[in-house]
């Protein structure tokens, strides 16, 4: 008797294992990484990075009386909510950026549209009228003009950028907002340590970064500029910049290091590098976040991370702060360093 033929011989036999490969999208990698850094669930990460920030403005004392400007804006039916810890800072509750940027008062330079986290960085720097100040990576000029406003154009401010196009836009911004005390330079920030050793009272280094604090996952191609490779390459640049910035400080001077990313490699890792290399670098407490009026914003503030992904950071790094993205503040990192 011959062998029976399989009636289903064209159907492949089932196997007890699968050799299918698992593929992860860029969004999968981003969400997993952020969940690990922020120590929350992946679902919560999607919520955190799917919020639009409220419109925030800084009323500019260099272009008219601030109280008069506030009254003019209220007459235009803007609902202004004052920020208790930020002088002349307001949430605009009923208009978005595109609407208020069309107002005549904006064209006159009476107010600047600026995220609250960015504003906080300048307040932590605490510039004084007689200071000589470097804003090492200054475009588009939000913090530069804020420094000029706080010091009432009495400080000497050097605003630097690397690209000609960015210096041109920076010049337009300083003119629009009346920052007459600002001198603009076109230079590589890594060279400042050689050019200006022990020269500045305060240095603001708002470093180029991977920009995770600005990512909005509901937007179109939100991760097109983000990659782990970019994070790695930027961290080398950031090391060079922070060291150059620190060398330019006078003894007793203050360096404010900030980014709009949440990556420990670009934040705590960079500050740890500086603290280990320079024994006269000291990390300071950021007192404003413990002040009266800051209560409702403390939910968005975390201490610097001392350990992540096998890396141990300087124990003092807890004095720095990381701002978790929310509807009121974008993701940010701030460290205040003095030269002792």
Give the whole-angstrom CA distance, residue 202 versus residue 205: 10
Give the whole-angstrom CA distance, residue 49 versus residue 313: 26
Give the whole-angstrom CA distance, residue 180 versus residue 157: 9
Q: Where are the alpha helices (DSSP H) in the chain?
A: 26-38, 42-48, 66-75, 97-100, 104-107, 116-125, 142-150, 164-176, 192-195, 228-247, 268-277
**Residues 323, 117 contacting (CB under 8 angstroms):** yes
Residue from 72, 255, 260, 330 carrying the catalytic annotation: 260
Q: For residue 126, is it left (φ>0), alpha (ψ between -120 and 50) or beta?
A: left
Cβ atoms within 10 Å, residue 13? 6
Q: Is 260 a catalytic residue?
A: yes
Q: Which residues are catalytic?
A: 260
């Amino acid at each position: 008797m011959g062998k029976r033929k399989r009636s289903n011989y064209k159907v492949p036999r089932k196997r007890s294992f699968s050799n299918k490969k698992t593929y992860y999208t860029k969004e999968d990698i981003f969400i997993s990484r952020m969940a690990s850094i922020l120590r929350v669930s992946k679902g919560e990460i999607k919520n955190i990075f799917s919020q639009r920030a409220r419109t925030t403005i800084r009323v500019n004392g260099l272009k008219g009386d601030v109280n008069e400007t506030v009254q003019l804006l209220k007459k235009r039916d803007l609902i202004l909510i004052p920020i208790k810890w930020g002088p002349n800072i307001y949430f605009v509750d009923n208009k978005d950026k595109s609407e208020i940027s069309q107002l005549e008062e904006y064209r006159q330079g009476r107010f600047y549209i600026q995220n609250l986290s960015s504003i906080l960085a300048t307040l932590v720097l605490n510039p004084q009228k007689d200071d000589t100040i470097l804003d090492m990576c200054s475009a588009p000029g939000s913090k530069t003009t804020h420094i000029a406003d706080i010091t009432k154009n009495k400080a000497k401010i050097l605003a630097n950028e690397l690209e000609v196009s960015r210096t041109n836009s920076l010049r337009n911004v300083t003119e629009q907002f009346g920052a007459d005390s600002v001198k603009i330079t076109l230079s590589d920030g890594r060279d400042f340590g050689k050019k200006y050793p022990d020269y500045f009272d305060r240095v603001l280094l708002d470093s180029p970064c991977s920009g995770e604090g600005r990512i909005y996952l509901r937007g179109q191609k939100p991760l097109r500029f983000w990659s782990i490779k970019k994070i790695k390459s930027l961290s080398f640049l950031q090391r060079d910049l922070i060291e150059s910035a620190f060398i330019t400080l006078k003894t007793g001077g203050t360096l404010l290091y900030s980014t709009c990313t949440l990556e420990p490699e670009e934040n705590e890792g960079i500050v740890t590098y500086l603290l280990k290399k320079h024994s006269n670098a000291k990390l300071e407490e950021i007192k404003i976040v413990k002040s009266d009026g800051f209560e409702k914003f403390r939910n968005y503030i975390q201490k610097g991370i001392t350990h992540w992904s096998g890396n141990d950071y300087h124990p003092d790094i807890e004095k720095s702060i990381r701002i978790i993205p929310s509807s009121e503040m974008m993701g940010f990192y701030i460290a205040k360093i003095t030269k002792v």
